[in-house]
């Protein structure tokens, strides 16, 4: 066994731990046979690929807002399409069903494509690259794009992390026909929920 003498929680100690499996990290790596890799696996990868940040770590939400425009510009160049940014999209079918899209792409007079950008941690950025589907936590957000815009045919789900210099930008494509059942379920659920809310509100008046 080799002993490194840096005191715990110092910069040197943190640097010595980078890319290594430690006792506290092991629970995020071990998986049961037949299950998918945990985030700890991708953190090990990120520790070896990502550029280190100087100064205090940036709040994840602030970082996402800061990088979103940059990601849209780069992605627009990549696919050679004009991406428009708007504030809020509201369903024609129900004014209480809405979406704040990151970007919309017009074909003729209709917005048939859209772009959603995620600027995640480096580990999750890599996880999204290697795993085939959009992370399940974003499923409902995906469905909402298609629910609010019945003309939408395709959604580009974009991941951006400039710290991963070998692959800062990557994306997945979701087509309406691939998730029609899920879209309909989410739509019906929202309509039913809004109806129940409306009925309860009437009891106050």
Q: For each of the domains in the chain, give its residue range(s) and CATH number, in order of start.
A: 59-202 (3.90.320.10)
Q: What angle do CA 25, 22, 52 make, to 5 degrees?
A: 80
Q: Are 102 and 117 in contact (CB under 8 A)?
A: yes
Task: Please report, rounded to a whole number, the percentage of residues in the chain having pLDDT higher than 70.
Answer: 82
Q: Between 161 and 13, where is the model more confident?
A: 161
CA 99 to the chain's CA centroid: 15
Q: Are 29 and 41 in contact (CB under 8 A)?
A: yes
Q: Between 62 and 115, where is the model more confident?
A: 115
User: Is residue 1 scored above 50 in pLDDT?
Assistant: no
Instruction: Say if strands 169-175 and 154-160 run parallel, antiparallel, or are unpaired.
Output: antiparallel
Backbone angles phi and psi of 180, in degrees to 5: -60, -40
- List Cα–Cα distances, 7 to 21, 46, 63, 109, 118, in angstroms: 18, 24, 31, 63, 36
Instruction: Say if strands 98-99 and 154-160 run parallel, antiparallel, or are unpaired.
Output: unpaired
The label of the residue with tokens 């945990």 reads 38
Q: Is the pTM of this model over 0.95?
A: no
User: Is residue 29 scored above 60 in pLDDT?
Assistant: no
Stretch 10-23: mean pLDDT: 63
How buried is residue 93: exposed, middle or buried, by Cβ count under 10 Å (0-12/13-18/19+)?
A: exposed
């Amino acid at each position: 066994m080799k002993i490194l003498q840096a005191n715990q929680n110092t910069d040197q100690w943190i640097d010595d731990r980078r890319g290594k499996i430690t006792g506290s990290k092991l629970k995020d790596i071990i998986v049961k046979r037949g299950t998918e890799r945990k985030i700890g696996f991708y953190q090990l990868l990120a520790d070896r690929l990502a550029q280190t940040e100087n100064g205090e770590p940036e709040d994840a939400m602030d970082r996402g807002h800061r990088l979103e425009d940059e990601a849209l510009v780069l992605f627009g160049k990549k696919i050679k399409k004009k991406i428009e940014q708007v504030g809020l999209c509201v369903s024609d079918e129900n004014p209480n069903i809405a979406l704040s899209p990151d970007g919309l792409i017009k074909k003729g007079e209709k917005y048939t494509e859209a772009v959603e950008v995620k600027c995640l941690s480096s580990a999750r950025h890599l996880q999204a690259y290697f795993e085939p589907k959009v992370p399940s936590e974003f499923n409902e957000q995906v469905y909402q794009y298609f629910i609010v815009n019945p003309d939408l045919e395709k959604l580009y789900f974009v991941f951006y992390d400039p710290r991963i210099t070998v692959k800062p930008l990557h994306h997945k494509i979701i087509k309406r026909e691939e998730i029609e059942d899920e879209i309909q379920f989410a739509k019906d659920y929202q309509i039913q929920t809004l109806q129940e809310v409306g009925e309860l509100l009437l009891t106050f008046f």
